[in-house]
């Protein structure tokens, strides 16, 4: 079925919605709403709204449309490409949509699902799923929801929500709108793979309820959307093919695709996701390993060997380049407690960080295949750190987190001398067969340019974050040029210019490297079909 | 030369919660870990072994069957073998009954020990009694609150730096002796994956009440002289004042002003 109808939202009085007016007052009293993790500076905007429900959100849309004021939507403001940084008009913070609504067991899929409002953060969703303690559901008074919760509590297994985009303060709605991914995408896929249903408010303030598996594009690549006023919008999908990598560049498009996938990762261009239903997964005990290696090349050898060793199923496979370890070693020498890890071995020239299932109390665990694979690459499991207790797993995770933190601190220090400086972090991914080529491209380019850099991230998905640390404006300029070259190279290898950060307002020119003007025009037409007045999130994905 | 390290498995408590009706600690959903002070004791043993290579480290714990995981952690971090003293008859033991049981188990399983290391206290009960009681029961010299330990070249004596109320003391004891650790490595060790796998091949012996030269009246609740009447969390201390991002000169002035205001200077 490719036809879907919208529903009306209840009425709310616009004048009763909490609103802060005037850029000066917003800047003075609500400075945290001015930007997100991209640290992009906003253009002056006039209103900051805090709607409490869909009715209020709908009233804001109606009023802003009538006044021809553009609306930017903010979730938890953890994005890295300025998606919720306003360019004008109004900013709508969804932070009051913060309740977990219900649980249900889907018999057909054999899985537990959680229905939640969009502002619930991933940390809360996971903590409540793991502890089976859902205060919002307990208080809701809805009998079916309470019965489902009681059944969930009786289930002896423990459950969690697998997508882990590192920043667990991210809101579930934001992660769906950006199809967030992270280390565990290596095994569990991106957010898209865990979304079972959404409610979306369209710019006309009407609601689409989209369960997964019900609405599919016609053979001609179209959806028909009927609104309550009898108007039918024809939505035509772009004709391009998506890269065979992790990808958040451009709208999702595939033959006879599910309508829900069009909204996932659309960066809020078509509507506002107000509610999400996601699937949970059974938890198993895990062990994390940091395996030290002699060089970056040896690390790539091990990545390929681990991919070929089918008996080892890793949850994630992450990379620390040799120069990334150097930065951490320096930090350890200055302030060992801030790193909270034993000394990084002196001869370590790179490291891989990976995790897999592990039963601590098993009598004779057999990991010969893993040990042999590591040995064949010229390394030894003696040169590793291992952790499986929760507190120790967290320690390993902190160690992964501390690297970008260290880089940010170095840049912040340099900014004092040269305020325009900023970090340049790549987000490119390529198919498996081009990992080595891409790495060679990075190294050759960076070494030739003589720039300071460090690389880390999701090497299992051929998605390494190369961070360039410019020391002055000249280096920043050269770094930007190099980044563009790297992006073009990734596209040439059949990869993507943005694997997980999205396009937002900061990577629009990279999108133009990946798609032809005609394909970008198809994307614009799609945006127009949903949002003819250009109400929502101006400046995201397309130049406004 | 054999070093026995007595350890305890404790709930990982950062925020103590007590069931107001039963007066017991709420342990539901709380991970069980090796008591940090016991880990420090093990640290000292591993450091001594790194100098005196022929040493053997034996980790010993009294606890339910799941306390095996605390022993596995010891084996991963450097213990050569482990002993789990586990029996329903030990349930409800106070510090005296625990120390008596540990002493009997050590005498039976490692009669030729030269040194017993313990953590200064467990983070759940916080009594700091088992170590000293163990020394008394075994009639051994004791040095409590050790932060540094060195063996004499002939390995007959141990010199330990210990914390006191006013600072430090350096004491020496002939071996065998009991020493408790109040500090170890600032950064906790992490085993290698090889250590994790090797730990599972090391010897872990389980001892029950029948293996001990003790009478039933000495065990568990029956052998306990004390009884916990009530458990309650300590009153929260007011937090300190923190000044961030200040130039050293400004920070110094602020601190001086605060100390004056509070009457310290």
A228 CB neighbour count, 10 Å cutoff: 13
ipTM of the complex: 0.87
Cβ neighbours of B76 in A, within 8 Å: 386
> How far is residue A150's CA from residue A144's CA, in Å, rounded to a whole number?
10
**For testing contact with chain B, the best of A329, A361, A397 (most B CBs within 10 A):** A361
A353, A320 contact by CB (below 8 A): yes
| B68, B69, B197: residue with CB nearest A367 | B197
Contacts of A450 (CB under 8 A, 6+ apart): none
A437, A461 contact by CB (below 8 A): no
Question: Would an 8 Å CB–CB cutoff place B72 in contact with chain A?
Answer: yes
Closest CA to A504 of A272, A267, A270: A267
Q: Is the peptide bond before B162 cis (omega within 30 degrees of 0)?
A: no
> How far is residue A3's CA from residue A13's CA, in Å, rounded to a whole number?
32
For tokens 């220090």, name the residue.
A413
Question: Would an 8 Å CB–CB cutoff place B232 in contact with chain A?
Answer: no
**Residue A291 and residue B190: Cβ atoms within 8 Å?**
no
**Residue B195 and residue A386: Cβ atoms within 8 Å?**
yes
Give domain B2-218's CATH superfamily.
Answer: HUPs (3.40.50.620)
| B68, B188, B191: residue with CB nearest A386 | B191
Closest CA to B169 of B140, B147, B142: B147
Q: Which chain B residue has its CA at the smallest distance from A363's CA?
A: B200
Domains of chain A in start order, with CATH, are 100-282 (3.30.465.10), 286-425+428-492 (3.30.70.2190)
DSSP state of B182: S
Question: What is the structure's pLDDT at B14?
Answer: 66
B105, two tokens: 């188990």
Write the pLDDT tens digit of every residue in B155-168: 999 999 999 998 99
A462, two tokens: 């051929």
Question: Would an 8 Å CB–CB cutoff place B196 in contact with chain A?
Answer: yes
Residues of A with CB under 8 A from a CB of B: 131, 287, 289, 291, 336-337, 339-342, 360-365, 367, 371, 380-392, 395
Pairing, β B142-151 against β B157-163 = antiparallel
| CA-to-CA dists, residue B264 to A275, B104, B167, angstroms | 57, 51, 20
**Residue A336 and residue B191: Cβ atoms within 8 Å?**
no
Question: What is the structure's pLDDT at A422?
Answer: 85
Question: Which pTM does this prediction carry?
Answer: 0.89
Q: Three-class SS of residue A387?
A: strand
Q: Which chain B residue has its CA at the smallest distance from A370's CA?
A: B193
Give the pLDDT band of residue B242 (cuts 50, 70, 90). confident
Packing angle of the helix pair A322-334, A390-415 (nearest 10 deg):
90
pLDDT at B16 > cutoff 70: no
Question: What is the structure's pLDDT at B235?
Answer: 77
Contacts of B241 (CB under 8 A, 6+ apart): B258
Q: Which chain B residue has its CA at the smallest distance from A127's CA?
A: B29
Give the pLDDT band of residue B116 (cuts 50, 70, 90). very high
Question: What is the structure's pLDDT at B30?
Answer: 81
The residue length of chain A stands at 544
**For testing contact with chain A, the best of B67, B196, B198 (most A CBs within 10 A):** B196
Instruction: Give the CB-side neighbour count of residue A460, counting CA atoms within 13 A.
Output: 22
The residue length of chain B stands at 265
**Residue A386 and residue B72: Cβ atoms within 8 Å?**
no
Instruction: Kindly give the confidence (pLDDT) of every residue in chain A, 544 residues in length, as a single tens digit, with 9 standing for 90 and above.
Output: 889 999 999 999 999 999 999 999 999 999 999 999 888 889 999 999 999 999 999 999 999 999 999 999 999 999 999 999 999 999 999 999 999 999 999 999 999 999 999 999 999 999 999 999 999 999 988 999 999 999 999 999 999 999 999 889 999 999 999 999 999 999 999 999 999 999 999 999 999 999 999 999 999 999 999 999 999 999 999 999 899 999 999 999 999 999 999 999 999 999 999 999 999 999 999 999 999 999 999 999 999 999 999 888 999 999 999 999 999 999 999 999 999 999 999 999 999 999 999 999 988 889 999 999 999 999 999 999 999 999 999 999 999 989 999 999 999 999 999 988 888 999 999 999 999 999 999 999 999 999 999 999 999 999 999 999 999 999 999 999 999 999 999 999 999 999 999 999 989 999 999 999 999 999 999 999 999 999 999 999 998 7
User: Exposure string (b/e) for B7-46, b if CB count within 10 Å is 16 or more?
Assistant: bbbbbbbeeeeeeeeeeebeeeeeebbbbbbbbbbbbbbb
pLDDT at B13 > cutoff 80: no
Lowest mean pLDDT, pick from A335-339, A396-400, B7-11, B230-234:
B230-234
**Residue A363 and residue B200: Cβ atoms within 8 Å?**
yes
**Residue A384 and residue B194: Cβ atoms within 8 Å?**
yes
Contacts of A20 (CB under 8 A, 6+ apart): A26, A29, A30, A47, A48
pLDDT at B89 > cutoff 70: yes
Strands laid side by side in the A111-117 sheet: A100-106, A111-117, A272-279, A195-201, A207-211
| A291, A363, A386: residue with CB nearest B196 | A386
pLDDT at B23 > cutoff 70: no
Cβ neighbours of B191 in A, within 8 Å: 385-386
Query: Following DSSP, what letter does each residue of A135-167 receive, concatenated?
Result: HHHHHH--HHHHHHHHHHHH--S-EE-----S-
Q: Three-class SS of residue B172?
A: strand
Nearest-5° angle of CA A384, CA A431, CA A408? 55
Q: Three-class SS of residue B80?
A: coil
Question: Would an 8 Å CB–CB cutoff place B190 in contact with chain A?
Answer: yes
B201 CB neighbour count, 10 Å cutoff: 11
| A336, A387, A389: residue with CB nearest B187 | A336
For tokens 């969390």, name the residue.
B233
**Residue B187 and residue A341: Cβ atoms within 8 Å?**
yes
pLDDT at B77 > cutoff 80: yes
Q: Which chain B residue has its CA at the smallest distance from A131's CA?
A: B29
Q: Where are the alpha helices (DSSP H) in chain B?
A: 36-51, 68-77, 95-109, 130-137, 193-199, 248-261
B115, B5 contact by CB (below 8 A): no
């Amino acid at each position: 079925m490719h036809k879907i109808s919208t529903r009306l939202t209840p009425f709310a009085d616009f004048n009763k919605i909490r609103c802060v007016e005037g850029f000066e007052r917003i800047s003075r009293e609500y400075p945290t709403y001015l930007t997100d993790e991209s640290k992009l500076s906003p253009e002056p905007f006039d209103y900051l709204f805090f709607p409490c429900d869909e009715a209020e959100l709908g009233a804001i849309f109606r009023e802003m449309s009538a006044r021809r004021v553009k609306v930017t939507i903010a979730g938890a403001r953890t994005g890295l490409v300025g998606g919720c940084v306003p360019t004008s008009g109004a900013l709508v913070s969804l932070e009051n949509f913060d309740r977990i609504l219900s649980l249900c067991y889907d018999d057909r899929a054999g899985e537990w699902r959680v229905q939640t409002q969009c502002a619930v953060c991933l940390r809360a969703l996971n903590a409540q799923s793991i502890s089976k303690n859902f205060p919002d559901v307990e208080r809701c008074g809805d009998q079916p929801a309470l019965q489902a919760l009681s059944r969930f509590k009786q289930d002896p297994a423990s459950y969690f929500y697998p997508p882990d985009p590192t920043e667990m303060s991210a809101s579930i709605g934001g992660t769906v709108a950006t199809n967030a991914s992270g280390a565990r995408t290596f095994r569990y896929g991106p957010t898209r793979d865990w979304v079972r249903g959404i409610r979306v408010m369209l710019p006309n303030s009407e609601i689409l309820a989209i369960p997964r598996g019900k609405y599919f594009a016609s053979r001609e690549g179209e959806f028909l959307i009927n609104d309550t006023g009898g108007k039918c919008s024809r939505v035509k999908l772009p004709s391009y093919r998506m890269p065979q990598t992790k990808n958040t560049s451009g709208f999702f498009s595939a033959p006879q695709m599910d309508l829900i996938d069009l909204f996932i990762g659309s960066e809020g261009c078509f509507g506002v996701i107000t509610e999400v239903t996601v699937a949970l997964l059974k938890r198993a005990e895990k062990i994390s390993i940091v395996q030290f290696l002699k060089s970056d090349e040896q690390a790539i050898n091990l990545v390929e060997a681990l991919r070929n060793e089918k008996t080892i199923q890793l949850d994630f496979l992450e990379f620390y380049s040799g120069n990334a370890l150097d930065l951490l070693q320096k930090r350890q020498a200055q302030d060992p407690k801030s790193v909270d890890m034993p000394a990084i071995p002196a001869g370590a020239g790179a490291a891989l960080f990976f995790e897999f299932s592990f039963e601590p109390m098993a009598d004779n665990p057999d990991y010969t295949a893993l040990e042999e694979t590591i040995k064949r690459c010229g390394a030894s499991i003696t040169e590793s750190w291992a952790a499986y207790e929760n507190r120790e797993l967290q320690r390993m995770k902190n160690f992964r987190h501390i690297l970008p933190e260290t880089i940010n601190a170095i840049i912040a220090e340099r900014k004092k001398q040269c305020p325009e400086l900023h970090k340049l972090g790549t987000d490119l991914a390529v198919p498996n067969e081009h990992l080595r080529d891409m790495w060679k491209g990075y190294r050759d380019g960076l070494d030739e340019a003589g720039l300071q850099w460090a690389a880390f991230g999701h090497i299992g998905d051929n998605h390494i974050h190369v961070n360039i640390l410019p020391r002055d404006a000249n280096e920043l300029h050269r770094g930007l040029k190099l980044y563009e070259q790297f992006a073009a190279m990734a596209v040439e290898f059949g990869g993507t210019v943005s694997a997980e950060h999205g396009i937002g307002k900061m990577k629009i020119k990279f999108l133009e490297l990946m798609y032809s003007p005609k394909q970008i025009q198809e994307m614009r037409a799609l945006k127009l079909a949903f949002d003819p007045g250009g109400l929502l999130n101006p400046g995201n994905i397309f130049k406004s | 030369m054999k070093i026995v390290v007595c350890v305890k498995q404790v709930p990982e408590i950062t925020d103590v919660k007590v069931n107001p009706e039963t007066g017991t600690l709420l342990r539901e959903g709380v991970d069980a870990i090796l008591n940090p002070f016991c880990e420090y004791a093990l640290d000292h043993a591993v450091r001594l072994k790194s100098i005196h290579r022929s040493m053997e480290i034996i980790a010993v714990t009294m606890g339910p069957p799941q306390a095996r995981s605390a022993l596995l952690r010891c084996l991963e971090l450097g213990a050569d073998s482990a002993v789990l003293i586990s029996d329903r008859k030990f349930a409800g033991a106070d510090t005296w009954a625990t120390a008596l049981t540990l002493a009997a188990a050590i005498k039976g399983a490692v009669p030729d020990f030269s040194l017993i290391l313990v953590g200064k206290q467990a983070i759940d009960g916080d009594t700091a009694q088992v170590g000293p009681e163990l020394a008394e029961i075994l009639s051994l010299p004791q040095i409590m609150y050790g932060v540094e330990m060195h063996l004499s070249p002939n390995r007959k004596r141990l010199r330990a730096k210990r914390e006191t109320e006013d600072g430090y003391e350096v004491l020496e004891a002939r071996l065998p002796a009991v020493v408790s650790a109040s500090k170890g490595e600032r950064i906790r060790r992490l085993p290698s994956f090889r250590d994790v796998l090797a730990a599972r091949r090391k010897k872990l012996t389980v001892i029950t009440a029948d293996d001990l030269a003790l009478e039933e009246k000495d065990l568990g609740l029956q052998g306990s002289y004390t009884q916990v009447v009530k458990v309650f969390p300590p009153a929260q201390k007011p937090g300190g004042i923190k000044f961030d991002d200040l130039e050293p000169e400004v920070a110094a002035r602020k601190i001086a002003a605060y100390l004056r205001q509070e009457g310290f200077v």
